């Protein structure tokens, strides 16, 4: 499996044990982007998503597809909340518990990692004030079921937020010919409107879709251009964005 024995976060396109394309706030001008800035972009993606939940101190949050869990640890620490990081990969969870051992010990009862799939959450009904996901829903087969599960575990008034890539519209595009992980089926690009409709059908309200592509693709492309992947298909994400075949979105809703 993609996130199994190989630690994807160790690839030069990622850093700091995060695995997302990053939300970039500052222009780096003409100088090369530093590894610290790359890591900061991925941490900032977490802040952007979790701030949309408007969490209060002590709120219980569930992260879907937490990967190596450095984002979950940061959220628990910075927002003063309780976070359960969920992932379906045993290897990712082992890495999460290992990398964040100090944070888990330092934040007793506020940070934990659990195995489970987003389509069958190991969480009671009405149990959490917030659910969030960072760049993971592109791996999920059944987004309608995921939306129902999110609706089930959120308390009335609870919030959902996710950032990730989707298609702006339904229809055929050449993305699969340009992006290897789409061609192989690891990443599935679905119309963002379909997912928004899934959330509405699951009983969620105030569903909102905002493009954040301008904060992601041009900078991520500049970063990739600095790495050993400069001549790889990784450069095609920007091309797909510029052609209107893909975008990066913030999707939010309230129960
Ligand atoms: C691109 S990584 C993102 C990790 C993390 N959110 C970050 O930004 O660093 C996607 C993660 O989602 C997990 N995942 C994929 N499908 C899943 C599912 N159906 N249920 C739970 N986790 C899943 C993978 O194991 C992987 O760790």
**Ligand 1 geometric centre to CA of 186 (Å):** 11
Spatial separation of the C-alpha atoms in residues 135 and 205, rounded to whole Å: 22
Tell me which H or E stretch contains 95. helix 90-99
Query: Would you say residue 6 has pLDDT above 80?
Result: no
Residue to mutate (ligand 1; options 88, 114, 163; most atoms within 8 A of CB): 88
Supply the pLDDT for residue 255: 97
Query: Which atom of ligand 1 lies closest to the CA of 70?
Result: 9
Tell me which H or E stretch contains 92. helix 90-99
Task: Write out pLDDT tens, residues 147-170.
Answer: 999 999 999 999 999 999 999 999
For 1, other C-beta atoms within 10 Å of its C-beta total 11
Interval 64-88 mean pLDDT: 98
Interval 215-240 mean pLDDT: 95
Supply the pLDDT for residue 5: 65
Supply the pLDDT for residue 150: 98
Query: Would you say residue 182 has pLDDT above 80?
Result: yes
Query: Would you say residue 240 has pLDDT above 80?
Result: yes
Query: Would you say residue 11 has pLDDT above 90?
Result: no
CB–CB of 75/46 below 8 Å?
A: yes
- The lowest-confidence range among 176-180, 187-191, 210-214, 230-234 is 230-234
CATH number of this structure's domain 8-18+28-254: 3.40.50.150
Provide residues with CB under 6 Å of ligand 1. Answer: 3, 18-20, 65-67, 71, 86-89, 92, 117-118, 134-136, 139-140
């Amino acid at each position: 499996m993609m996130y199994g024995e190989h630690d994807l976060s160790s690839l030069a396109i990622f850093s700091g044990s995060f695995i997302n394309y990053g939300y970039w706030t500052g222009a780096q001008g003409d100088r090369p982007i530093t590894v610290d800035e790359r890591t900061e972009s991925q941490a900032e993606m977490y802040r952007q998503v979790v701030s949309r939940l408007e969490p209060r101190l002590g709120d219980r949050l569930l992260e879907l597809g937490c990967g190596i869990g450095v984002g979950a640890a940061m959220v628990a620490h910075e927002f003063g909340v309780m976070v359960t990081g969920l992932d379906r990969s045993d290897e990712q969870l082992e890495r999460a518990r290992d990398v964040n051992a100090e944070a888990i010990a330092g934040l007793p009862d506020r940070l934990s990692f659990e195995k489970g799939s987003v389509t069958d959450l190991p969480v009671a009904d009405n149990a959490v004030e917030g659910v969030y996901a960072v760049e993971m829903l592109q791996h999920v087969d059944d987004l309608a079921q995921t939306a129902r599960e999110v609706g089930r575990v959120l308390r009335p008034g609870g919030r959902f937020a996710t950032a990730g890539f989707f298609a702006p519209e339904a229809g055929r595009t050449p993305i699969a010919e340009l992006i290897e992980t789409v061609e192989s089926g690891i990443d599935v690009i679905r119309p963002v409107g379909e997912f928004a409709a899934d959330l509405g059908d699951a009983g969620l309200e105030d569903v909102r879709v905002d493009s954040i592509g301008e904060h992601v693709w041009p900078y991520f492309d500049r970063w990739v251009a600095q790495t050993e992947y400069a001549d790889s298909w990784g450069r095609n994400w920007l091309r797909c964005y510029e052609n209107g075949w893909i975008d990066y979105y913030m999707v939010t809703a309230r129960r």
